Structure 1
Amino acid sequence: MEKKQPGLDGRHRDLNGEIRQKNGNTRIDTLRETYGNDFAKGHRGDMRLDTLLESSGARSLSEYLKRS
């Protein structure tokens, strides 16, 4: 069985080589462990990533980070 290789930000590549995306139900406080306490400042830690993206108009976590 082929072992998955580590990817960006502790994520792993799928067997087809693509980086696994953050799940929309990931909590903001979990993302703050990676991106720092200032990530999504002014938003509650129990907010979900998909809610944050929808409210900001960003299509992905990467896009949100570029806008911030």
Structure 2
Amino acid sequence: MARKGLDGRHRDISGRIDKKHSNTRIGTLRKTYGDHFAAGRRSDMMLKTLLAETGTESLHAYLRKHHR
């Protein structure tokens, strides 16, 4: 059973924070990170496509590099 972490994300039994799934849609991420997240991209685009197009390895890396 997953436990809720201090940062609001879920942790698995070992305590690791779950990563965002690559099939998460940009529209869903905009609910968390604001309407300006991935500006100019369609809301039905998947996270894996965004990461591939921008050459980043993870959502965390994308946020550090492109999202301010």
TM-score by length of 2: 0.89
Q: 1:6 & 1:64 partners in 2: Cα distance?
A: 24
Q: What's the CA shift for 1:36?
A: 0.3
Q: 1:50 & 1:6 partners in 2: Cα distance?
A: 25
Q: Which residue of 2 aligns with 1:51?
A: 49
Q: Which residue of 2 aligns with 1:62?
A: 60
Q: Which residue of 2 aligns with 1:36?
A: 34
Q: 1:29 & 1:35 partners in 2: Cα distance?
A: 10
Unaligned stretches of 5+ residues in structure 1 = none
Backbone CA RMSD of aligned residues: 1.1
Q: 1:29 & 1:38 partners in 2: Cα distance?
A: 11
More strand by share: 2
Count of residues in Structure 1 that have an aligned counterpart in Structure 2? 65
Q: What's the CA shift for 1:64?
A: 0.1
Give the partner amino acid of 1:11: R
Unaligned stretches of 5+ residues in structure 2 = none
Q: 1:4 & 1:48 partners in 2: Cα distance?
A: 25
Q: What's the CA shift for 1:22?
A: 0.3
